[in-house]
Structure formats: C-alpha cells, structure tokens
Chain A
Amino acid sequence: MQHSKTQDTLVGLFVATGIAALFYMALQVSNLGTYSSNDSYTVTARFQNSGGLKVKSPVSVAGVRIGRVSSITLDKASHEAVVQMRIESQYDNLPEDSGASIYTAGLLGEQYISIDPGASDDYLKDKSQIDITSSAIVLEEMIGKFMMNKAEGK
C-alpha cells in the first residue's frame, strides 16, 4: 500500500468524525448538555416513607426541576428516611417554611420530590432542613385502606 497525502487526510477525517460522534452523544443524547453549573446547596428533609424515591430523582417546584436527590439514608433513632437534595444555587429564594412531598409522575412513572413554597421571609440555606413533609403514597396502602372502608361501610 502506497503511503500518500490522501491517506493522511482520510485518517484525519476518520478521527475527526469519530470524535465529533462522541461529542454529539455527550451533548445531544445524554444529560450532559442539560447540566448547569455545579453550584448548588444541600437541603435535607425527613420522610416517614420515601417510597420508590431514588438517588438522582428530580426535585421540582411548580413542575420545574430545580435539583436532584443526592442521598437517601435511614435515621437509626427515629426510623425515618433522611433525604438530601442538591438544589441549584440560582434558586436560593425558597422560603424556610416550604413543604416537601413525594409524588409520582403519572400512574406508573418515577417518583420525585415536589417543594411547595411557604410564605416566610427567611430562605432555605445550605444544610437547612425542610420540616413540613408528606410521605410517598404507597399504592398497596391506599388499596388496603379503600378495602377496609368498603368492608366497614357494609
């Protein structure tokens, strides 16, 4: 095989398209393009039941995603789920008395935390805690209650 300038050019083109494909996947296909700056602050909330919440589940206000769940641990003393969320620092004006609830997107969708803003003039800061929480709704529990009510109603 004769070595030639065309070969150099073709190899260069090949490597360039390969790298372009990698960039295309990083930016267009994955969530890398939607990452904002890493500036964020951490807020915790305690739930009786965290249901199917997972690390990286979205945290939203009024349906707009403002952060993600960063860790879920169990408090050994109170047997409550301690959920840490990282909230983007551009949303630094959430009132201190905001409430956090775990909802499900659609009937079978993934679970997310929705924050309902309160009315306080003090804002949530790094490492502060949301006190008003409502747990995940477990479908079996609801069906169980419904059955009990039916049975008692008769």
Chain B
Amino acid sequence: MLEFLESLGKITRHSFAKLGRATFFLLHALTGMREILPRPNLLIKQLYSIGVLSFLIITISGLFVGMVLGLQGFNILSDFGAEESLGVMVAASLVRELGPVVSALLFAGRAGSALTAEIGLMKATEQLSGMEMMAVDPINRIISPRFLAGFLSMPLLAALFSAIGVMGGHLVGVGMLGVDDGAFWAQMQANIDFREDIVNGIIKSVVFGFVVSWIALFEGYDAIPTSEGVSRATTRTVVNSAFSVLGLDFILTALMFGDI
C-alpha cells in the first residue's frame, strides 16, 4: 500500500516536472523567434521539410476522404431524397472537423515524428551540447525555426486538405453519382458560413499546429539520449499528439458550436 502511494506520488511529481520543463521550453522557443528574422533561410529550410514534404500525403488523403464522404453521404441522403444536400454535408464535415483533425493527425505522423527523431538524435550525438560550447543557443537556433514552421504550415495544410476534399466530394457526387452540379454548390454556399465554419476551422488548425509542434519538439529535446530513448520519444510524440488533438478538438468544438 505504502509502495503504491509512493509510486503514485512519484508519477505525479514527474509529470508536473515534465509539464514545467515543457512550459519553460515553450517560452524559450517563443522568445527565440526574434533570432529568425535576421536568418530567414533557417525558416525556409524548415518550411520545406515540414510543409512541402507533407504536401503529398495531405492532398492525397484529402482527396480520398472527400471521395469517401461523397459516396457515404450519397447513400445516406438518398434514403431521404435529399441528394442535393451532399455538398453541404461534405463541406461542413470537412471544413469543421475532418480538415483540421485528420490533417493534424497526419502532420503528427509525418512531420512530428521526424522532428522528434531529428532533435533526439541531435541530442544523442551531442550536437546540441556542441552548439552550446560555441555559445550558440540550440533552442533559438534549432527549435524556434522548426516551431514557427510547424505553426505556419498546419493551417495551410488543413485548408488544402479541406479544399481538395470538397473537390473529391464533387468528383464523386456530381461526376459519378449524378447529383446536380448547381444544387451541390448552391446548397453548400447557402449553408456554410464564412465566420462560423471556415474561420473556426482555421482557428482549430492553428491550435493543433501549435500543440503538435510543441509536443514533437519538446519530446525530442527531452528525450533520453540513447537510441532507445529516441525511439520512445518518437512514439510518445505520435501518441500524445493524437490525444491532445482529439481532446482539444472536443473542447474547441464545444466552445465554437456547442452553446455550452
């Protein structure tokens, strides 16, 4: 019994200590942003490896998710004779939920895990300590540009995901299943509100981009500098990102659409 309480206390203390380290890390990374201004190349390089290289997986997944929504939505809506509402259904589910959430999960898997592994390996091979030896702050130089790049890429990727998804839904609904083209767009435009739906979707993706980048970079920076430690940190990045994204999605949805 006493041992159980002791381990419980230990776990709690460790999690709080980790949260504290993560917060200091975040503050340090945010104040390091000003170092990017004189060296924009650092940011461009990271935008390339985080944003551009995620482009393909996001667009292809978006296309298929949109096509599946078109197909499934058509089957359900045709039972009620409301095939014309397919456009609304596809666009609303993509813009409000699937766009930000699925692209954040893909982003955590594609870019987040890579970031953790990269930073963790830098730590394991003592590149970060080497930088400190040369009086270069590794957080300002390494973490901040990656953080900013993740934060900037995420909304763009989510917007791409939703836009391509709507096109995929249009391809299946109008092109293959014969929903009226005019009704598809007209119903969509009548029911999707710019402020309520699109801006809220963008806000969600901004929050997810922030959280996923933070988790990925911190786990890498905080990893035990061994090959096993880095592999564990990478796993934690993907798991924790998925939890945080889905949990935050519920909270944000409740705040935005729930009238709670």
What is the interface of chain A, defined by CB distance below 8 A to chain B?
1, 3, 7-8, 10-11, 13-15, 17-19, 21-22, 24-26, 28-34
Contacts and interface: CB of A to CB of B under 8 A. Distances in A.
Nearest to A17: B160
B244 to A, nearest CB: 23
Interface stretch (B16-24, B41-49, B128-136): B41-49
B47 to A, nearest CB: 5
Contact of B189 (A13, A15, A21, A33): A33
Contacts of A1: 45, 48-49
23 contacts: A7-B44, A7-B45, A10-B48, A10-B52, A11-B47, A11-B48, A11-B51, A14-B55, A17-B156, A18-B159, A18-B160, A19-B156, A21-B156, A21-B159, A21-B160, A21-B163, A24-B163, A26-B194, A29-B91, A29-B198, A30-B189, A31-B192, A34-B189
Contacts of A15: 47, 51, 156
Contacts of B202: 22
A14 B198 contact: no
Contacts of B192: 29-31
A146 to B, nearest CB: 25
A15 B189 CA distance: 25
B190 interface: yes
Specify the main secondary structure of chain B where it touches its partner. Answer: helix
Contact of B156 (A14, A30, A32, A34): A14
B193 interface: yes
A24 B155 CA distance: 14
B166 interface: yes
Contacts of B210: none
Interface of B: 41, 44-45, 47-49, 51-52, 55, 91, 95, 153, 155-157, 159-160, 162-164, 166, 185, 188-194, 197-198, 202
A104 B166 CA distance: 29
**Which residue among B163, B188, B197 has the maximum number of chain A CB atoms within 10 Å of its CB?**
B163
Contacts of B162: 21, 25, 29
A25 B47 contact: no
Given A8-B44, A31-B193, 5 more contacts: A13-B52, A18-B157, A21-B160, A29-B192, A34-B190
B60 to A, nearest CB: 14
A3 B51 contact: no
A21 B59 CA distance: 11
Nearest to B154: A18
A125 to B, nearest CB: 29
A3 B49 CA distance: 11
